Structures are given as C-alpha cells and as structure tokens.
A and B are shown apart, each in its own frame.
Chain A
Amino acid sequence: MINYLIRRLGTTLITVLVLSYTIFAIVQIPPGDAVDRQVRLRQTQGDVVTREEIETLRAQYGLDRPILVRYYQWIRGFLVGDLGRSTSGRRVNDLIAERLPQTVALAVAGLIITYAIGIPVGIYSATHQYSAGDYIANSISFIGMSVPGFLIGIILLYLFYKWFGLSIGGFFSVEYKSAPWSWARLQDLINHLWVPLFVVAVGSTGGLIRTMRATLLDELSKQYVMTARAKGVPMRKLLLKYPVRLALNPIIASIGHIFPYLLSGQVVIAIVLNLPVLGPLLNTALTNEDIALSSSILLIQSLLAVFGTVVSDVLLAVLDPRIRFERGAH
C-alpha cells in the first residue's frame, strides 16, 4: 500500500510537469501575442507605434526570451506564489484569489450532490428494474444528460424572474455583493447557490444514475450474489455488502473525471448565470491572449483535476484489495 502510494505520487509529479509545460506552450500557439493586440488597438486609434516601442513592450512582458526560459520563470513564480501580471495590469494572484474559492466550492458541492442523488437513485433503479420508479429515474437522468446545463440555466432564470420577480444570477444579491461576511450574507449565498448547483450537477447526476444502474444490474447477475443468497443472507443485507459495494468501485474511479468535468463544465453556465468563478475569467483571458492569466488558470484547474484523480485512485486502492495487491506487490 505504501509502495503504491509512493509510486502514485511519483507519476503524479511527472504528469503535473508535462501538463504544465503543455499548457504553457499551447496557450502561446495562436499567432500574435498581447503586444500585437495592444499595438493594433493603438493603431486603430490613429497612433503610430515604432519598432523600438514594440521591442520595449515585448521585453517588458518578457516575450523576447526563449520559451523554455519563460516557462522556467513562470513555473518558479508559480511555486513561490507569484503568478505574474495580467495584461489588464492587475496581479494574477489577486484575480484568481477572488474566484478560486467559489469555483472549488461549486465543483465540490456539485460532486457531493451528484453522488448523494446519483448513487441511491441508481440503486433504486437497478433493484426495481422496469418499475414505474425506474422509468421515471431513467427519463429524468436522460433529460439531465442530454439538455445542456446552460439551457436549463436560462430557463430557470426566466421562470424565476417571471414567477417570483427574482433575479437568481450571481452568487450574491446586490446588497451583499461587497459586504463583509456575516450570517445574513451566508444565507444570501446559500439562496443563490442552489440554482447554479442544480444546473452544474444535473448532467453529471443523470450520467451517474445511469452508470450506477448499469453497473449494479451487471453485479446483481454475478455468481457471488447467488452464493450469498444460498448461504441464507437476507436480500437487503446482501445487496449492500456485495453488489453495491462492487458497483461502487467504478463509480469511485469516476471521481477522477467527474470532478474536472464539474470544474470546466462551468464556463458556459457561469457566463449565463453570471457566476464569479474561474471559467468566465479564463474565457476572457484566452480571447485577450493574456498568457500569464490563462496559463495560470489552466494550470490550477489541471492541478485540481489531477488531485481528484489521485483521491479517487487512493480511495479505490483502499476499497479494492485486488488493486492494492496487484499494484503494491512489486
């Protein structure tokens, strides 16, 4: 087990390294850079920009140095907690700090909701196959999976406004937007949170219900279920101890991809619902060719995703002795 953990950590480090360089390189692929944009903007305003000016700007942003050097500086900055400056002039640290907590909170809460609803409903569906409840659960999860979250978001925004005259966009009402933390502000946050949560989690919950149902149905037909029944184990007890337990393994493994999905799936939804999370910020950063900001956001999102995978791998190893022995043996 210890061996396994150490090796898992090693591969994670390598993954993160390769990932960070890839992000850094990809973000620079589009032709032109922030300086070009600035120059073009000034030219349209009638300014004349000289070659020297351009060179100075390049040097100022560090764009004149080779990519490996810039990557090294960026990563070093990242490790000591200095993410550089956005083209807007603000520190990337501040921009991200404003939005990171909400982003993680939304993804984690979305994950919890996905599992809290998806697993029990999936179990019900599988154990009551072809019942009315199973059909309802199936239909709802199918709709949840196939209707895009942002569309559900728009519909909810519209309905809430029409029926209750409420504006449910954003995380806070106007009066609490920049107020200091208080119980009332927390209450306001919770009131605003459940619509985006619902919208964010509806797709992954639908998917999880279907996965759980299919996996459990598969496990229920396995021989070990009949063995346990033949021993005289009552059905309810048997269900939780054997097939559900085994069906949970692939579900736990799916944390590794549901979590990043919840992180990145937020972009369009967040734009529609006007949520102050990282997604929309990344969107603007990319269109502005704001390399420092976009690569930092991408790296942070990737780190969170990698973290999700590690958590699911470790959980899986704890829960499934086959993995523990197979991977820990040598």
Chain B
Amino acid sequence: MIPQPQVRHDQAPVTESDLLLQVRDLRTYFRLDEGMLKAVDGISFNVYRNRVLGMVGESGCGKSVTAQSILQIVPKPGVVQGEMLWHRDGQTVDIGGLDPESEEMRAIRGNEIAMIFQEPMTAFSPVHTVGNQLMEAYFVHGKLDEAEARARAVELLDLVGIPAADRRVDEYTFQLSGGMRQRAMIAMAMMNRPRMLIADEPTTALDVTIQAQILRLIRRLQAETGAAVLFISHNLGAVANLANDVAVMYRGKIVEFGTVRQVLKNPQHPYTVALLQSIPGFGYRRGDRLQSIRGSVGVPIDPPDECPFRGRCDRFDPALCGGSMPASVEVEPGHQVACVLYEARS
C-alpha cells in the first residue's frame, strides 16, 4: 500500500458545528484489463455549511469521480474506499461504509446532497417532461402529494429564472435552450432543499454570458439556503468568484489546499502555478505570456509511488524528486502543499 499524505484542515476558519462532510483518505479505483486505474487516490477534505469549496485541476484529474464517490454513484467497475462522515443533527453517517443501493444511501442522494451536472444537454431524459423529472426528485423521497410536487417544481423553475414556469414545466428539455436547461437542472437539485450541493462543471458547456448568469444563480441560492457547495470547475475565474476554499487536484490527489486568496494569489505547488499561468487574467507573474502546461495529465493506471506531476514539472530536480509521493506540508495556516520543495524546507 502506498503511504498517503495526511492532509489536515484543522485551521479552517469556521466552527466545528458547521462541519457537514469529512472526507478521509478517499480512494476510488477502477479495475480495468490494463491495470488498476486510481482515479481518486487518497484525498481528504472537509465541507462546511454555508461555505463553497472549489475544486480545480485539468480534465482527467479525478474531480468528477470525487463527486460521484460522495454520492456513491460511481459507474462499474469503480470501487469506493475511505471514510466520508456525513453529519446531520447530532448524528453521523459514514457514507463510505454504505451500500450504494441501500435505502440509507438513497435517502441521502438527491435529498440531503444534490448534484448538478456538466452537460445540461444530455443530463435530462429527452422523452420525459421537465416537470416529470423535477417532481420525481420529490416523489422518490417519500413526498407523494402530486399537486404539492408540481407547485414546488413551478416555484423552483420560477426561482431559478425560467420565464412562464407554469407552462415550461410541461415542456420537454429539448425545447429549452442550454442555459434554461442548466437552470432547470439547478431547480431539480433544489427540490428537496439539500444541505449540500455538488456542482460538477456547471457552466463548462455554456457560452460566456450564460456562464456568468448561472454562477450568479448558484451564488444566490447558496447564500439564501446556507447550503454547502462543492464547486468543481476548471474555470479558475469562476472559482475565485464563488469559492471560499480551493483544492487543487492532480492525478487523483489533492496537491494544494487553502483559501481562495492563499491558493490563487500565492500559489505554491508548481502545478498550481502552471495552471494559473495557463489561464488568461490569472498571470501569476504579471506580463508573462500565457503558457500551456506541456504534456498531459495521462491516465493513472497502476501509478508508481512518486510525485504525479514530476514528468511535467518546471522545477523538477532529480536530486529531490526521486522519492515517494511527498507528504502535505502546511506552508501557512490553512494552506497545504504536497511538494518536496516544501517538504525539504520544513
């Protein structure tokens, strides 16, 4: 077994009573013919009520699989291991220990924790009406009043800014524009007043003006309901806008964690630095040209125990980077980095 870094967030500036979800050493592996694909490989983080945790990283770093793991909806042959302590009213459930098909898990899914997906195009069934799919979220959680479900669906469609909601509720999703569809998806996630919302790249498939509207909508709903949000995006601008904390993922691992200010203004991990330099408006060193990160993330099949970024790293040093996966080090209160540059210094 690969030794895992212990990531700690004890200094998060919030009270323990706001702690909603504690993820500890989460591993989600897919056993494939080619070997073991370690999509998520020993990550830990906390999610707090009334706070937005941003999760960034290039495509293929394991962000979506993390989201799926929390809801236990990872497709076959994925296997989820690790602890996910879900706190509700003085009661704690370990989601990691629940059978994905159990009643207990289903009662959390879409009810206490809801999810918004990236592709509003394909995330709805094309042969059922918007209302049918919204109301289903209501019905599967034991609320059976038809009229009440419909009223709630219309109310939410209206709340997320869909005009003529009482008419739209009976339309099919292919009759809505991409932006309207994403609004409907958000409405669907809010049907049962979830305590935590996972938004997996909710704006990636939309054009820029619509993106801004959807982000404002998520922020408004978050503020109004006090829900916790796990906001996954590779749009660093959106994360800067919306999130309180940021986790930077690379190849199934969290390589840097801190508040938005810490991570985006004062990035420490070479990967975070490279990521920021590759994005317009986030030039870490002002005046520099935009640089795309050379190489690609790759697929972590049977990954060796070493820094996953070493092959692409500008600051790769054979003398330092030869060892196993560096442990996470606190470089300032609440700001952790998993890189030998800091490990050596401390």
Binding site for B on A (CB under 8 A): 221-224, 226-235, 237, 241-242, 245-246, 249, 319-322, 325
Contact = CB atoms under 8 A, between A and B. Distances in A.
A231 B126 contact: no
Nearest to A220: B75
Contacts of A325: 172, 174-175
B122 interface: yes
A230 B126 contact: no
Nearest to B115: A230
B162 interface: no
Contact of A232 (B107, B119, B128, B185): B107
A317 to B, nearest CB: 12
A2 B133 CA distance: 27
B127 A232 contact: no
A223 B123 contact: yes
B73 A230 contact: yes
Interface stretch (B34-42, B136-144, B289-297): B136-144
A131 to B, nearest CB: 12
A242 to B, nearest CB: 5
A216 B119 CA distance: 20
Contacts of B108: 232
Contact of B110 (A224, A231, A249, A320): A231
Contact of B117 (A223, A241, A320): A223
A231 B149 CA distance: 15
Contacts of B172: 321-322, 325
A221 B75 contact: yes
B271 to A, nearest CB: 28
B137 A232 contact: yes
A93 B227 CA distance: 77
Contacts of A229: 71, 73, 109
Contact of A227 (B106, B117, B174): B117
B124 A231 contact: no
Contacts of B185: 227
Interface in B99-115: 101, 106-111, 114-115
A233 B136 contact: yes
Contacts of B110: 230-233
B106 A230 contact: no
Given A221-B75, A322-B174, A230 B109 contact: yes
Interface in B173-200: 174-175, 185, 188
A22 to B, nearest CB: 37
B117 A231 contact: no
A272 B80 CA distance: 58
A232 B115 contact: no
23 contacts: A223-B117, A224-B124, A226-B117, A231-B137, A232-B106, A232-B108, A234-B101, A234-B140, A235-B101, A237-B140, A242-B125, A245-B125, A245-B127, A246-B127, A249-B127, A320-B126, A320-B127, A321-B172, A322-B126, A322-B127, A322-B172, A325-B174, A325-B175
Contacts of A319: 127
A100 B34 CA distance: 57
The 5 closest A-B pairs by CB, nearest first: A231-B110, A232-B110, A232-B109, A223-B122, A230-B115
Contacts of A237: 140
B200 to A, nearest CB: 10
Interface in B52-80: 68, 71, 73, 75
B123 to A, nearest CB: 5
Nearest to A222: B122
A245 B73 CA distance: 21
B274 to A, nearest CB: 30
B125 A232 contact: no
B119 A226 contact: no
Most chain A Cβ neighbours within 10 Å, of B73, B124, B125 = B125
Nearest to B174: A322
Contacts of A227: 115, 117, 123-124, 185
A249 B119 CA distance: 23
A137 B263 CA distance: 55
Contacts of A245: 125, 127
A231 B119 CA distance: 16
A90 B115 CA distance: 73
A296 B59 CA distance: 63
Contacts of B117: 223, 226-227, 230
B126 A232 contact: no
A245 B133 CA distance: 14
B75 A226 contact: yes
Contacts of B114: 230-231
A303 to B, nearest CB: 31
A325 B101 CA distance: 37
Contact of A224 (B71, B73, B125): B125
Given A231-B137, A231-B188, A232-B140, A226 B127 contact: no
Contacts of A232: 106-111, 137, 140-141
A136 B211 CA distance: 50
A234 B174 contact: no
A33 to B, nearest CB: 54
A293 B117 CA distance: 62
A187 B277 CA distance: 82
A235 B76 CA distance: 13
Name which of B107, B124, B136 has the most chain A CB atoms within 10 A of its CB.
B136
A233 B125 CA distance: 14
